[in-house]
Amino acid sequence: MTSIPPTICPYCSSKELIRTVPEKDPFNVMVICHNCQRVITPEHDGPPGRTTVAVRSIAEKAIQISLSLGKLNGIKYYYSEINKLPDTKTTLQQSKDTIEALLQARGLTSAVRKPSRNGCVIALIIILLIIASVIYFYTRR
């Protein structure tokens, strides 16, 4: 028995809801509020429960961390905080999939901060300097 998707957002009471079908999992239809950009699950008939609110706040914070510090930090935060809740356990792969799905559903995938490559450039410069000094040392003798 399938439940009917909500017609009003339980968070902001907006009637502008968007029904999306993820490309990787077409049987998992998601409903997203156009106003507050939160994912609404079909089991929401009234105000969200305490655990649901905690999970959603963790997900929101993980998205903010992903946008500012990178996806890896967001996934790490989500994984550690979700596993602290008493009745919700998740694996690292499930946490990664959840964060990526939330970012993709909100259209924020391209806004996530990419890892810095400055460390590789600095290491390359140091290696080149070492090679140059070795060559200079042996050519001066």
Q: What is the pLDDT of residue 133?
A: 94
Assess if residue 75 is contained within a domain. yes
What does the alpha-carbon distance between residue 54 and residue 125 come to, in Å, rounded to a whole number? 47
User: Do 71 and 99 touch, CB atoms closer than 8 A?
Assistant: yes
DSSP single-letter state for residue 30:
E
Assess if residue 87 is contained within a domain. yes
Distances (CA, A) of 116 to 44, 76, 122, 126: 40, 18, 12, 18
Q: How many domains does the chain have?
A: 1
Q: What is the pLDDT of residue 2?
A: 46
Assess if residue 140 is contained within a domain. no
Assess if residue 100 is contained within a domain. yes
Q: What is the pLDDT of residue 46?
A: 46
CA 124 to chain centre: 31
Regions of the chain with pLDDT less than 50: 1-2, 44-48
For 112-122, the pLDDT digits (tens) are 777 677 788 88
Assess if residue 119 is contained within a domain. no
What does the alpha-carbon distance between residue 112 and residue 117 come to, in Å, rounded to a whole number? 15
Domain encompassing residue 71: 49-114
Assess if residue 76 is contained within a domain. yes
Q: What is the pLDDT of residue 50?
A: 57
Assess if residue 72 is contained within a domain. yes
Q: What is the pLDDT of residue 45?
A: 44
Own/partner long-range contacts of 13-22 (Cβ < 8 Å, ≥24 apart): 20/105, 22/101, 22/104, 22/105
Specify the pTM. 0.49
Q: What is the pLDDT of residue 141?
A: 67
Query: What is the Cα gyration radius of the chain?
Result: 23
Distances (CA, A) of 130 to 92, 118, 137: 40, 18, 10
Assess if residue 80 is contained within a domain. yes
